[in-house]
Amino acid sequence: MSLTCTRCEGTGFLNINQINDKELYYLDSPEAILGWCNSHSEHDVQVCDCCGDSENWYGEAGEHYL
């Protein structure tokens, strides 16, 4: 059973609002967002440190597992 992470609002990322909506529309998976993060340098978007370790998630992005 899992619960949605409230810190990242289930996205799996902190500061995801720094990606403009037009670009975010095409980033349809957590892996695509990680790719965006690696190819852009001026942002603070990162894997949520509540449901992950700032590099990867403990399970599925944006979820807490019991």
* Residue span of the structural domain in which 57 resides: 2-65
pLDDT reported for residue 36: 96
List pLDDT tens digits, range 8-60. 999 999 999 999 999 999 999 999 999 999 999 999 999 999 988 888 899 89
As a whole number of angstroms, the distance between CA 51 and CA 26 comes to: 23
Predicted confidence (pLDDT) at residue 2 exceeds the cutoff of 90? no
When divided into structural domains, the chain yields a total of 1
**Do 14 and 8 meet the contact criterion of CB atoms below 8 Å apart?**
yes
pLDDT reported for residue 66: 63
Q: What is the pTM of this model?
A: 0.87
Higher pLDDT, 64 or 37: 37
- Angle at 28 (CA atoms; ends 24, 33), nearest 5 degrees: 60
DSSP secondary structure letters along the chain:
-EEE-TTTTTSSEESGGGS-HHHHHH--SHHHHHHHHHH--S---EE-TTTB-SSSBSSSTTEEE-
